[in-house]
Amino acid sequence: MQFKKIAFFVISASLIFTACDSKKEEKTKVDEIKKEIIKKEETKIKLTTADLQTITFEKTEEGIKFENFENKVILLNFFATWCPPCRAEIPHLNNLKDKYKDSFEVIAVALGEKDGKLTTPEKLNDFISEYKINYIVTNSEENYTAADLVGGVKVIPTMFLINPSGKIVQKYVGIVPEEMMESDIKKALGKN
């Protein structure tokens, strides 16, 4: 008999504390909508270029979109000024940018210094001049968000080749031969 009383009490208490509450359900739905809005906002960021222009970068279900770069193949290049392989690839990227200037864009995303701080604008501009970089270089806190949005960048250089519809068609980790990138650019442009 004692067992029945305890069981009844436990079951009653659990029903009281787990009862449905429509306000709770409404609050949960509102919270889900808020999270979705925040998630949407977090997938659209603005990258600041070395010459203080803004590039809007958005991750969508279809891929990655860049405002004002429609119908272009994009090479999203995550790099650092202190990285020897990153510096070694610059002449290749310059050549490809020159060769495919009307249908191809390189957007370099600086991931800061070894101490984790952003590269200063002066140091970055000196770097761009020294290496005669002819493509876009970005340098802002949002660069780290961009690295997260593409799935995380653990090694530099890491590059993502994005076709005109926004789909990532190739990922490169480390230094890559220019010929390989050019072949992939042609495929992304539908020329191969």
For residue 168, give the DSSP letter: E
pLDDT at 16: 44
Catalogue all structural domains in the chain, each as residue range(s) with its CATH number: 45-187 (3.40.30.10)
What is the tens place of the pLDDT at every residue in 20-68?
444 444 556 555 654 454 444 458 899 999 999 999 989 988 889 999 9
Q: Classify strands 54-59 and 168-173 as parallel, antiparallel or unpaired.
A: unpaired
Percent of the chain past pLDDT 90, that is, above it, reads: 66
For residue 62, give the DSSP letter: S
What is the tens place of the pLDDT at every residue in 97-120?
999 989 999 999 999 998 889 999
pTM of this structure: 0.77
CA–CA distance from 132 to each of 87, 99, 123, 167 (Å)? 11, 16, 14, 29
